[in-house]
Structure 1
Amino acid sequence: MTANSDNKNLAIVSIPIQSWSNVYTLDSALKIGTIFPDLNKPFYAAEPPQGSNLTENTIFSSKAEINKEKKSMLLQITCISFALDDLTLYLDTHPDCQLGLKLYKDCHQRREALIKEFSANYYPLSRDSIDISAADKAPFNWNIGPMPWEGGLL
């Protein structure tokens, strides 16, 4: 605090309450950084840099050739997970928004199904997706896939 305390109100922040609007598609939302078009505000009032499009190759890179279906499923899981994070933030302040709740429920169910399918076809992505039903037929399968520090999920 400065010696002069007359400047108590140098800045007053005003944040409008967000209202529900149409949302971006899940793959677009991940590229843009939000599912809500109303929150897509540029930091600078300038043109976006050329070549800033996010692609599957910039999200998931690997030295080895990657199975396209596996790569596609990981991208879908990433997009849905991002949307769920954004929806969670929205629903923290709008817990009664029926459109937001419906989209959250739909995304949550789709994410669970994708993770279950991915885990059955490839390897578990988290402790929650370990197939414990196969424990009597096969060894514990947590260590099947690569560890994040070994170059990611691919």
Structure 2
Amino acid sequence: MKQVPPEYYQKLEELQAIDFVIVELTLYLDTHPKDQDAVQQYNQFVHHRKKLKKEFEKLFGPLTNFGYSYSDYPWNWKDAPWPWQV
């Protein structure tokens, strides 16, 4: 398996932490839909996650499949390790 730098793990962990926060805020907002502060937090984390995902993929390759991530040319899905392989 291809070696990845420590930065890979740091950024992947940061994405996972943000995903956790987004899921928790989603669950909270299901029962508190009028909590304006929570909606703002949710939107901020979603925006931040999109930015981090783009940065991660620029450095290390695609993170998700099914049209959610771009590919460089040539097709580079085989080049980077999948997140569950590290």
> What is the aligned partner in structure 1 of residue 53 from structure 2?
115
- Verify: 1:139 aligned to 2:78, yes or no: no
The Cα shift of 1:66 comes to 4.4
Structure 1 regions of 5+ residues with no counterpart? Answer: 1-62
Q: Over residues 58-112 of structure 1, what are the superposed CA-to-partner deviations in whole Å (9 max), with x where a residue is unaligned?
A: xxxxx98641211110110000001001110001111111110011011101111
Q: Over residues 24-48 of structure 1, what are the superposed CA-to-partner deviations in whole Å (9 max), with x where a residue is unaligned?
A: xxxxxxxxxxxxxxxxxxxxxxxxx
Amino acid at match of 1:103: Q
Matches within 5 A, 1:34-49: none
1:142 counterpart SS class: coil
Given candidates 25, 30, 44, the residue that maps to 1:106 is 44
Instruction: Give the 3 Å change call, closer, same or farther, for CA 81–153 of structure 1 in structure 2.
Output: farther
66-75 vs 100-109, which deviates more? 66-75
> What is the aligned partner in structure 1 of residue 8 from structure 2?
70
Instruction: Give the 3 Å change call, closer, same or farther, for CA 153–110 of structure 1 in structure 2.
Output: farther
Amino acid at match of 1:81: D
Regions of 4+ moved over 4 Å: 63-66
The alignment yields a C-alpha RMSD, in angstroms, of: 2.1
Aligned length: 84
1:70 counterpart SS class: helix
Distance 2:45 2:57 in 1: 18
Greater per-residue helix proportion: 2
Higher Cα radius of gyration? 1
Distance 2:70 2:45 in 1: 21
Structure 2 regions of 5+ residues with no counterpart? Answer: none
Greater relative contact order structure (CA < 8 Å, 6+ sep): 2
The Cα shift of 1:145 comes to 2.2
Distance 2:49 2:32 in 1: 22
The alignment's TM-score, normalised by the length of structure 2, stands at: 0.83
